[in-house]
Structures are given as C-alpha cells and as structure tokens.
C-alpha cells in the first residue's frame, strides 16, 4: 500500500489475483538452489538453522518440500561454521507445517547447522515412503512421466538420484520405441538422459516406481540376516543405534528390506571401530530408517546391530540311496536294497548358505541315536553295512543351520527303504526248493508204485481160481 495506485476498481467474483510467494527459506553454499546449508528468514533476518540433532532427515524433507525442490536425498548435521545466533526449529512441527512457522527460539549461538540435498528436478509422490510413488519431473511445473516413457535403466538412474536402492517395481508399460528418457544407466540424474517424445499424460497414466530402501544386511547367510548397514550420500556404513535397540526397531529394518518381520535383533560393540551412521531407534518404528539418521557419522565406534528376519528360509533337503555292492531297485514306494549289501544314504541341499549339518532319521537306531554329520559341500553321507530286515523303513534327512544362536531346520520328503534278495537269488532259491521237493516226492512215488504193483499180482490168481470153481 506504499506504492502509488491508479485505476482503482472493484473485482467481480472469481476475478481476483492469485499469488504464490516463495517461502523465506534457502540453501546456500551448494551446487544448486536445491542443495546447501539451510537458512531461514524471520523478522527480515537471514540466519542459519540451528543443529537439528535427531531430525536431520525430517528437516531435509520439509526444506525440499518448501523450496519445491523435489524429494529429499539426505540431510546431515554440519559443524565448523562461525559461532553466531541461529534460528531454532521444532523438529516435529516441520512434518506438517512450513519451516518458517516452526521457528521457536533465536538466542542460541552455535557453530553447527544442517546441510540438505534435494533431488531438484524429479520426485516420487503419493507413495508409501521416500522411495516409492508416482514419477514427476520439473518442466517449469511438476508433471507426471507418462506410462511407457521410462525403462529399467531409467528407473535405475532415478532410484540412484533419489538416494534409494535398486528399483524393485516399475508399474507401467515398457515401450522402448515410445519412451521419453533414453538412459544408458550411468547417468547421475534422470534429466541428464537424452529425451524425446515429450508429452502430457492423462490422469492416472503416469509411471509408478518403487525403489528399495538403501539398507542391507551383510556378513550373514542371506539377505534377510546379518549386520545392518545404511547408505547415505552414496556411502555404505554400519548402522549404530543412539539409544536402546528393541524388537520394534528390528521389525522396522525387516520392513524396509521387505524381509517379513523381526525374529532377532541385538546391538553389540564387537565390531571394528569405524565411522558409522547413527540412527534413532524410536524414529525407525514409524519412519524409513534413512529418515532416522542424525549426525555426520565422523566418530568411530565399535557398535552395530545384528538382525534376523522371518523371510530367512532354508531349501528343502534331498534324500537319495546308493549301493556300493549288491544291487538296488527303485520302486513306487521307495528303494529296495539287496540283503547283506552295503548302502549309503545321501542328504544334500541346493547351495544356499554355508555350513550347517544333516541329521538322518531312520529306523535303524532309536531316535536318540540318530546320527548328525556336518554339511560338507552342502551334503553328508550316512554309511550302512550288511543290510538286513532291521534297516527297512522310512528315512528322512533334516537340514540344520544356526544363525545368531537361533536354530533353523528343513526336512526332506520321506524315503521308504525295503531289504530283500535280488531276482536271481530268488530264482535260484525257487529252483532249489523245487528240486528238494522233487527229491522228496520221487522216492515216495516209487514206493507207492511198487506197492501197488505187488498188490495187483496177488489179485489176478484169485480171480482165476474163482472162475475155475464156478
């Protein structure tokens, strides 16, 4: 109203001017307006934002949102600035309100600040977290990437640009002939890729992308078991809790890994002393782990977290029988081995995890005496000699593996083993029995014929005598 005015008029309904002002917020000292150290202007004065502590990632998300700079790639605590008064900001407030509205103090002097990097020209919106959503790019305004405009290599570039892991789901038709982005995969940003065929998408026709969270479990026997590591600013570091690590925090790690639910999680100080990413356990219960990092991670520590998730599974072992002497025969019910032969039961499993052992459940010994052998090259061999009828019955292999003092097992199908003689032995046995029976019957038959012949010779003279008398 200090400006000179002219042409005063009354506006009809709906004909008023709409205005959007930039938030009194900026990032200074970075490579672009979307990266640098956070400064806020309050009461006409620009000041550095004070140390955010546990809210680095939440503040980064709020700053990128207020600056319309896409998605937050990371936020970090920084030190070494001149010690001057800074603006203090409530961390919980910035989740839903502009940063300027969350300033609550101005007396604090500090040499610390908050550094933020935003994705600048690309973002994922309306997703379940930082690494999923509908793809939008900045082209003077935020516009959706059309279905079919992004292929797998473009998705990999985009996920990397956002500080996320590899793409795990790309919803939308992949049409190389009609795509807009022609990425080779090595680009640092999606907008660095050659573009063509730019078009406006109809409602609901945008690409939806899900990138994996930048978290992993290493040193274990599967991707769902091991020591937790997190990638921030392109660097993988061990994850170190800043407070009490509990089951809910472990469950959050398994959630971000898409590994089911938590089975075991424990913090220990038995790791090499190296720089780590400090994580707030209470934060990870409700937010992606990446959002819960605070500090620069410059301090070395031996701390870390071992995690075991429910999607850690064992392959089903395979059971088979072979005979070293004698013969065996496959039958619909199982295997038949020759009586008195030596046979071997093999338990094996497809290569999946190192180590473990096999236990053979068999009728040849009471359950307490069932033998257990270590897995060598993912298999074990159980030897039996002089097969007899005590060896017949059901055999089962059980694969055993211990992870973080937790025992896991997987059981094979049941193999039925019978013990008997070979076909040639049976034929010989039948022939011998028949010969013995024949040798037994022939004397009796000879004696019978002889007796009968003698009886007939006595009967004939008596008949002649009766005829003479008659």
d(CA 244, CA 267) in angstroms, rounded, equals 8
Neighbours of 12 (CB within 10 A): 7
State the pLDDT confidence band at 306, using cuts at 50, 70 and 90.
very high
Look at the domain 215-309 and name its fold. Answer: Mac-2 Binding Protein (3.10.250)
State the pLDDT confidence band at 425, using cuts at 50, 70 and 90.
low
High-pLDDT (> 90) share of the chain, %: 19
Inter-residue contact 65 to 97 (CB < 8 Å): no
d(CA 450, CA 323) in angstroms, rounded, equals 55
Phi first, then psi: what are they for 239, rounded to 5°?
A: -95, 130
- Count the alpha carbons within 13 Å of 227 in the hemisphere toward its beta carbon: 17
Residue ranges per structural domain of the chain: 25-118, 122-211, 215-309, 318-420
The mean pLDDT value of the chain amounts to 81
H or E element: which one contains 437?
Answer: helix 423-469
Q: List, for residues 155-181, the tens digit of each pLDDT value.
A: 999 999 998 888 877 765 444 445 678
Q: List, for residues 9-68, the tens digit of each pLDDT value.
A: 677 666 788 888 888 999 999 888 999 999 999 888 999 988 655 556 778 888 998 999
Inter-residue contact 180 to 146 (CB < 8 Å): yes
Phi first, then psi: what are they for 460, rounded to 5°?
A: -70, -45
Inter-residue contact 236 to 217 (CB < 8 Å): no
Taking the mean position of all CA atoms in its chain, how far away is CA 466?
112
Architecture of domain 318-420: Sandwich (2.60)
- CA nearest to 125, candidates 117, 115, 133: 133
- Rounded to an integer, the average pLDDT of 235-242 is 90
Q: Across the chain, which distance is largest between two alpha carbons, in Å?
A: 179
Please tell me the predicted confidence (pLDDT) of residue 174.
47
Please tell me the predicted confidence (pLDDT) of residue 13.
65
Task: Kindly tell me if the per-residue pLDDT of 434 is higher than 80.
Answer: no
- Rounded to an integer, the average pLDDT of 301-316 is 86
Distances (CA, A) of 99 to 159, 283, 303: 27, 20, 34
d(CA 113, CA 306) in angstroms, rounded, equals 32
Q: In 223-377, where do the E strands start and end?
A: 225-232, 235-241, 262-268, 274-275, 277-279, 293-294, 300-301, 304-309, 318-323, 328-331, 334-338, 343-348, 357-361, 372-374
Please tell me the predicted confidence (pLDDT) of residue 456.
59
Task: Kindly tell me if the per-residue pLDDT of 390 is higher than 80.
Answer: yes
Task: Kindly tell me if the per-residue pLDDT of 327 is higher than 90.
Answer: no
Q: List, for residues 198-236, the tens digit of each pLDDT value.
A: 666 655 578 889 898 889 999 887 888 899 999 888 889
pLDDT: which is higher, 74 or 455: 74
H or E element: which one contains 216?
Answer: strand 215-222
State the pLDDT confidence band at 430, using cuts at 50, 70 and 90.
low
β-strand 225-232 against 304-309: which pairing, if any?
antiparallel
Residue 78 corresponds to which tokens in the numbers above? Answer: 């920084």
Inter-residue contact 78 to 114 (CB < 8 Å): yes
Helix (H, G, I), strand (E, B) or coil at 297: coil
Please tell me the predicted confidence (pLDDT) of residue 452.
73
Architecture of domain 25-118: Roll (3.10)
Please tell me the predicted confidence (pLDDT) of residue 217.
93
The model carries a pTM of 0.63
Task: Kindly tell me if the per-residue pLDDT of 266 is higher than 70.
Answer: yes
Look at the domain 122-211 and name its fold. Answer: Mac-2 Binding Protein (3.10.250)
In this structure, of 171-185, 329-343, 380-394, the range with the lowest mean pLDDT score is: 171-185
pLDDT: which is higher, 428 or 39: 39
Inter-residue contact 44 to 9 (CB < 8 Å): no
- Rounded to an integer, the average pLDDT of 127-133 is 81
Residue where the block lists tokens 């993988």: 236
Would you say the CATH fold of 318-420 matches that of 122-211? Answer: no
In this structure, of 41-55, 181-195, 441-455, the range with the lowest mean pLDDT score is: 441-455
Residue 9 corresponds to which tokens in the numbers above? Answer: 């008029």
H or E element: which one contains 377?
Answer: none
Please tell me the predicted confidence (pLDDT) of residue 261.
85
- Rounded to an integer, the average pLDDT of 75-100 is 85
Instruction: Sort 234 into a burial class: Cβ within 10 Å, 0-12 / 13-18 / 19+.
Output: exposed
Return all residues near 374 (Cβ < 8 A) that are at least 6 apart.
355, 356, 357, 380
Task: Kindly tell me if the per-residue pLDDT of 74 is higher than 90.
Answer: no
Residue 403 corresponds to which tokens in the numbers above? Answer: 């992870």
Instruction: Sort 373 into a burial class: Cβ within 10 Å, 0-12 / 13-18 / 19+.
Output: middle
d(CA 412, CA 360) in angstroms, rounded, equals 10
> What DSSP letter does each residue of 338-349 carry, written as one string?
ETT--EEEEEE-
Please tell me the predicted confidence (pLDDT) of residue 22.
82
d(CA 106, CA 334) in angstroms, rounded, equals 82
Residue 253 corresponds to which tokens in the numbers above? Answer: 């790690």
Task: Kindly tell me if the per-residue pLDDT of 429 is higher than 80.
Answer: no
In this structure, of 249-258, 354-363, 438-447, the range with the lowest mean pLDDT score is: 438-447
State the pLDDT confidence band at 129, using cuts at 50, 70 and 90.
confident
């Amino acid at each position: 109203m200090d400006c000179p005015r002219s042409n005063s008029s009354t506006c009809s309904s709906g004909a008023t001017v709409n205005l959007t002002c930039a938030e009194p917020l900026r990032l200074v000292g970075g490579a672009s307006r979307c990266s640098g150290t956070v400064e806020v202007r309050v009461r006409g004065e620009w000041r550095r934002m004070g140390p955010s502590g546990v809210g680095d990632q939440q503040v980064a998300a709020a700053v990128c949102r207020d600056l319309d700079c896409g998605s937050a790639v990371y936020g970090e605590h920084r030190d070494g600035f001149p010690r001057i008064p800074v603006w203090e900001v409530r961390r919980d407030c910035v989740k839903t309100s502009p940063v300027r509205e969350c300033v609550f103090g101005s007396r604090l002097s500090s040499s610390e600040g908050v550094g933020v990097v935003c994705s600048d020209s690309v973002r994922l919106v309306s997703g379940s977290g930082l690494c999923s959503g509908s793809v939008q790019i900045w082209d003077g305004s935020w516009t959706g990437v059309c279905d079919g405009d992004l292929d797998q290599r473009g998705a990999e570039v985009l996920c990397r640009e956002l500080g996320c892991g590899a793409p795990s789901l790309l919803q939308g038709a992949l049409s190389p002939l009609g795509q807009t982005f022609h990425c080779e995969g090595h680009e640092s940003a999606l907008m660095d890729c050659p573009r063509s065929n730019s078009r406006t998408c109809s409602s609901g026709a945008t690409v939806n992308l899900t990138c994996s969270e930048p978290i992993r479990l290493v040193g274990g026997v599967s991707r769902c078991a091991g020591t937790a590591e997190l990638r921030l600013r392109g660097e993988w570091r061990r994850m170190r809790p800043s407070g009490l690590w509990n089951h809910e925090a472990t469950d959050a790690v398994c959630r971000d890994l898409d590994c089911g639910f938590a089975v075991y999680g424990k913090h220990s100080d038995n790791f090499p002393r190296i720089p780590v990413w400090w994580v707030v356990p209470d934060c990870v219960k409700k937010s992606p782990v990446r959002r819960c990092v605070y500090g620069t991670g410059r301090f070395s520590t031996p701390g870390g977290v071992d995690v075991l998730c429910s999607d850690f599974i064992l392959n089903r072992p395979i059971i088979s029988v072979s005979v070293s002497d004698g013969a065996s025969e496959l039958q619909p019910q199982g295997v038949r081995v020759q009586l008195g032969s030596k046979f071997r039961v093999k338990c094996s499993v497809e290569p999946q995890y190192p180590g473990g052992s096999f236990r053979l459940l068999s009728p040849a010994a009471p359950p307490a005496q069932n033998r257990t052998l270590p897995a060598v090259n993912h298999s074990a061999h159980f030897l039996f000699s002089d097969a007899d009828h005590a060896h017949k019955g059901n055999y089962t292999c059980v694969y055993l593996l211990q992870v973080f003092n937790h025992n896991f097992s997987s059981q094979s199908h049941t193999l039925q083993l019978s013990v008997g003689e070979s076909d040639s032995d049976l034929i010989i046995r039948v022939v011998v029995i028949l010969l013995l029976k024949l040798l037994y019957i022939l004397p009796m038959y000879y004696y019978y014929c002889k007796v009968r012949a003698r009886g007939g010779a006595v009967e004939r003279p008596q008949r002649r005598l009766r005829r003479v008398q008659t």
